[in-house]
Structure 1
Amino acid sequence: MSKADDIFISMCQDIIENGTTTEGQKVRPHWEDGTPAYTIKQFGVCNRYDLREEFPALTLRRTALKSCMDEVLWIYQRKSNNIHDLKPHIWDEWADEDGSIGKAYGYQVGQVSHYADGDYDQMDRVLKDLRENPFSRRIMTNLYTFSDLSEMHLYPCAYNAIYNVTEHPGDDKPTLNMVLVQRSQDVLAANNWNVCQYAILLMMVAQVSDMHAGELVHMIADAHIYDRHVDIVRELISRPTYPAPKVHLNPYVHDFYDFTTDDLIVEGYSHGPQVKDIPIAI
C-alpha cells in the first residue's frame, strides 16, 4: 500500500477507537439542517511523510492532485483571497458576493513586511532566504494574524509552514524539509488534501531552490472525524490499497512564479472509488 494509506488508516482507527467526543458541548460548526456538528477527536497528531521515498497520495480514494496544486498556487503564488482566482469550488461557502474570503490565506502571504535588507512579502522572503541563507532557522510563513481574524470569513486551519534545510556528507545537494502546523482538521474531507498540497508546495520550493524535497512533518492540534462521517470513514479504511503514484514537476521550471498545474506530472495513480456527497460542516 501507499505509506500515506497506512498513516491515514492508523490515524482514523486511533481517533475512532481512542478519541474523545464533543457531543453535548457548545460547538461552532453545524450541518446544513442546523444540527450541531459534533466530532470524535485526537489531540496532537503528528504524521511524517518522506517525499524521497514516495509521494503521499491516498489510494483508498482519489485525491485531486491538480486541484490541490491550484489551491496552493492561489495562496502562495497568486496570493489571492478571491475564489474567482481559484478553479476548485472548495471556498465557495465562505465567499462574499464579490468572491472574497476576507483577509485570509493568500491575502496574508501577500502582506509586505520591513526587514533590515528590504521589504518582502512572506513567500518572497522564504524564496530569498533559501537562496541566500538556507540554513537559517527563521524561514517560514504564517497565516494566523490575530489583528485580522475579525475580517477573515474563516480562520486559517493549516496556517504555519516552517522550512528547514539539512545536508549530510556526500549529498549532491541540500534537502528541503517542512513542518506544517494545523490548528484543526476535518480528517475525512481535508487530511490528504492538505498533505498533498503541502507536499507539492515543498516540491516546488525545493526545485526552484536547487534542493531535494525531503520530509513533510504534519502536526495537527485537533484531528477530528465528524459524527456524520464516522461510518463513511469506517468503509473507506476497509478498502484495498495500491502502490503510491509517481508524482513529478516539470524540471524546466526554475522560478516559483512560473509554475502552473500543467507542470504537475502524475503517473500510475491507481485508487479506489471516490466518496461522493460527503456532508460538510459549516
Structure 2
Amino acid sequence: MSYADKVFIAMCNDVIENGIDTTGEKVRPIWEDTGESAYTIKRFGVVNRYDLSKEFPALTLRKTAIKSGVDELLWIWQKKSNNISDLNSRIWDEWADETGSIGEAYGYQIGQKSRYKEGWFDQIDRVIYDLKNNPYSRRILTNIYVHQDLHAMHLYPCAYSMTFNVTKNKETGKLILNSILNQRSNDILAANNWNVCQYSILTHMLAQVCDMEVGEFVHVIADAHIYDRHIPVVKELIQREPLEAPTLWINPDKKDFYDFTPDDFRLDNYVTHEQVKGIPIAV
C-alpha cells in the first residue's frame, strides 16, 4: 500500500487520540460563514519521512490535486510572484487585496536578492548555485519567515523553510539530494498531502537540474492540527483501504529550473478513493 497513506493514517490517529483540544482558548482563525472561532486538536513537533527514491508520496485515500499544487509551487519558486493574477487556482483569493497581491510573502521573499562573496542571488538561485558548486555545503537553505516584513504579509508563511543536504549513492557514486520542509502550522485535512507533494516535486526538480538522484524528504511540522469541523471527515477518510502509490513523471528534457511548466509533471497509475469535497477552510 501507499507509504504516504500509512504515514497519514498514523498521524491522524495520533492527533485524534493524543492531541490537545484548543476549544475555548484564544485562537486567531475563524469560520468564514459564521465568524466563530475555528478550534483544533493539535500535536506539537510531528516529523514524517518519505523516501522519494522508492515512491512518490501522494495519498490514495483521496485525490491530491497535483496540477494545482505544481501551479502554486511554480508561482512561488519559479515566478517568484505574490500576485494571484499569476496563479491559475483561487486558493489565495481570501488573502489578496484589491490589486491581487498577498503582500511581501512567499514568492516575494524567494525573489529577494542578497549579497554573497560570489555576487548577488535570490534564494532559489543561491540554492541551485550551491548544489552545483558546493554540494556538500551544510548551508543550503531558504527562509521566507522574515520578521521585518511580517507586517506587510497578508498571511504569515506556514511552510517557511527548506533545507537541502547532499549525500552519495555508495553503489553508483552519484549524488543524492535530500530535503527538509519546516512548517510552523499545518491543516492536516486541507493541506498536509498538498504540501508533501509540492515540496517532494521541488526536490525532484532540483535533483534533475543539478544532475542528482532524489533521496529523503523530511516534513517537520511544529503545529499539526485537525479543525473541529474536519474531525468527522478525517475519521471517515482514515478508514479507507490504502491503494498502490502512483509514479511521478517529470519531463526528462527539462534541465533548467525556469523551463518547467505544469505540463511537465504528471502522476501515472494514480488510482484513488472518492474525493472529499466542500472542505470548510478556516481563515
- Normalised TM-score (structure 2): 0.98
Shift of 1:88: 1.6
Distance (Å, rounded) in 2 between the aligned partners of 1:110 and 1:43: 31
- What residue number does 1:129 align with? 130
Correspondence 1:82-161 to 2 at 5 A: 82-161=83-162
Deviation string, structure 1 residues 60-88 (Cα, Å, up to 9, x no partner): 00001111111110001000000110112
Deviation string, structure 1 residues 81-128 (Cα, Å, up to 9, x no partner): 001101121111100011100000000000000011100000110000
**Structure 1 gap segments, 5+ residues each:** none
Residues 66, 266 of structure 2: 8 Å contact kept: no
* Bigger mean CA offset, 165-174 vs 152-161: 165-174
**Structure 2 gap segments, 5+ residues each:** none
Q: Secondary structure at the match of 2:58?
A: coil
Q: Secondary structure at the match of 2:6?
A: helix
- What residue number does 2:39 align with? 38
Which amino acid in structure 1 is aligned with residue 265 of structure 2? L
Correspondence 1:233-248 to 2 at 5 A: 233-248=234-249
Distance (Å, rounded) in 2 between the aligned partners of 1:142 and 1:40: 27
Q: Secondary structure at the match of 2:102?
A: coil
Q: Secondary structure at the match of 2:281?
A: coil
Distance (Å, rounded) in 1 between the aligned partners of 2:271 and 2:134: 40
Distance (Å, rounded) in 1 between the aligned partners of 2:81 and 2:173: 36
Distance (Å, rounded) in 1 between the aligned partners of 2:41 and 2:7: 18
Residues 160, 181 of structure 1: 8 Å contact kept: yes
Shift of 1:173: 1.2
Distance (Å, rounded) in 2 between the aligned partners of 1:52 and 1:138: 23
Q: Secondary structure at the match of 2:137?
A: coil
- What residue number does 1:226 align with? 227
Shift of 1:248: 1.6
Deviation string, structure 1 residues 161-199 (Cα, Å, up to 9, x no partner): 000000143324100000000000100000000000000
Which amino acid in structure 2 is aligned with residue 81 of structure 1? N
Correspondence 1:1-282 to 2 at 5 A: 1-32=1-32, 33-282=34-283
Distance (Å, rounded) in 2 between the aligned partners of 1:171 and 1:66: 33
Spell out structure 1 runs of 4+ moving beyond 3 A.
none
Distance (Å, rounded) in 2 between the aligned partners of 1:9 and 1:87: 31
Distance (Å, rounded) in 1 between the aligned partners of 2:190 and 2:11: 14
Which amino acid in structure 2 is aligned with residue 132 of structure 1? N
Deviation string, structure 1 residues 30-49 (Cα, Å, up to 9, x no partner): 00111100000000000000
Residues 185, 220 of structure 1: 8 Å contact kept: yes
Deviation string, structure 1 residues 257-282 (Cα, Å, up to 9, x no partner): 00001110321000011111101000
Distance (Å, rounded) in 2 between the aligned partners of 1:20 and 1:254: 46
- Normalised TM-score (structure 1): 0.99
Residues 250, 265 of structure 1: 8 Å contact kept: no
Residues 41, 222 of structure 1: 8 Å contact kept: yes
Shift of 1:241: 1.7
Distance (Å, rounded) in 2 between the aligned partners of 1:205 and 1:69: 14
Which amino acid in structure 2 is aligned with residue 71 of structure 1? E
Distance (Å, rounded) in 1 between the aligned partners of 2:173 and 2:89: 38
Distance (Å, rounded) in 1 between the aligned partners of 2:266 and 2:235: 31
Residues 69, 197 of structure 1: 8 Å contact kept: yes
Which amino acid in structure 2 is aligned with residue 41 of structure 1? K
Q: Secondary structure at the match of 1:27?
A: coil
Shift of 1:240: 2.0
Residues 168, 174 of structure 2: 8 Å contact kept: yes
Distance (Å, rounded) in 1 between the aligned partners of 2:170 and 2:47: 28
Deviation string, structure 1 residues 188-226 (Cα, Å, up to 9, x no partner): 000000000000000000000000111100000000000
Residues 141, 161 of structure 1: 8 Å contact kept: yes
